[in-house]
């Protein structure tokens, strides 16, 4: 259905809650992209740009059947999310997909491209102690850009449903900030978020694959 990188941008001053819904309710469905080739290999991705695996493409096509009608499809500019959204867009006949770099994955810094075993060798005890490398994007930096984008999308679609194809680290950060804790999410797993009266509320998590061909990477 094509793509467009120019229609939506984030507000410059937001971190946390969405505003400007007017009289409607904006529902966001945040969805993790299909399996990438680095997911398959167990490599941390961050903002590196490996493509979808064959299974990831199949997952995206399967997931489209569980989504139904939405008013807008938005995707991270990273290939694995962009291609997932493109497949869903084609299956649903809804487009163009709007691509935004503000919803790309958290920057994993020096860990990008490494497996957990390689991280344990190069950074002993970091994972076990919850420590991160110097180039790691902070929670505050991530929230600034992601919640600012939700703000702008809420103003654009003030009474409708927005599908956002993004990344595991982004979804988990949003959930954690809104009180949902920090839990791994599968490829093509999703989370509904309702925006009403200037406030975001967590809705249910979804398995868009209905239990078939589910993959749960343990890295972002």
Q: Is 129 a catalytic residue?
A: no
Tokens describing residue 52:
């979808």
Cα 167 to Cα 11: distance, rounded to the nearest angstrom: 21
Catalytic residue among 40, 99, 105, 177: 105
Instruction: Tell me how many helices (H) and strands (E) the chain has.
Output: 6, 7
Q: In what order do the strands lie in the sheet with 189-196?
A: 3-4, 97-100, 72-76, 160-166, 26-32, 189-196, 199-207
Q: Is 182 a catalytic residue?
A: no
Q: Residue 150 CB: number of other CB atoms within 10 A?
A: 27
Query: Could you list the active site residues?
Result: 33, 105
């Amino acid at each position: 259905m094509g793509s467009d990188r120019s229609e939506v941008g984030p507000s410059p001053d937001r971190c946390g809650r969405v505003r400007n819904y007017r009289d409607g309710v904006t529902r966001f469905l945040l969805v993790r992209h299909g399996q990438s080739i680095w997911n398959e290999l167990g490599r941390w991705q961050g903002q590196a740009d490996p493509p979808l695996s064959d299974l990831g493409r199949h997952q995206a096509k399967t997931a489209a059947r569980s989504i139904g009608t939405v008013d807008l499809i938005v995707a991270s500019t990273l290939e694995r999310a962009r291609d997932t959204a493109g497949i869903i867009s084609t299956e649903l006949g809804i487009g163009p997909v709007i691509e935004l770099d503000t919803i790309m994955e958290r920057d994993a810094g020096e860990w990008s491209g490494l497996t957990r075993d390689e991280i344990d060798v190069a950074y002993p005890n970091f994972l076990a102690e919850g420590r991160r490398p110097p180039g790691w994007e902070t929670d505050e930096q991530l929230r600034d850009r992601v919640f600012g984008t939700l703000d702008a999308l809420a103003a654009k679609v003030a009474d409708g449903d927005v599908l956002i194809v993004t990344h595991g680290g982004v979804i988990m950060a949003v959930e954690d900030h809104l009180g949902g804790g920090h839990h791994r999410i599968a490829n093509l797993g999703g989370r509904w978020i309702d925006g009403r009266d200037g406030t975001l509320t967590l809705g249910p998590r979804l398995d868009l694959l209905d239990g078939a061909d589910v993959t749960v990477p343990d890295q972002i």
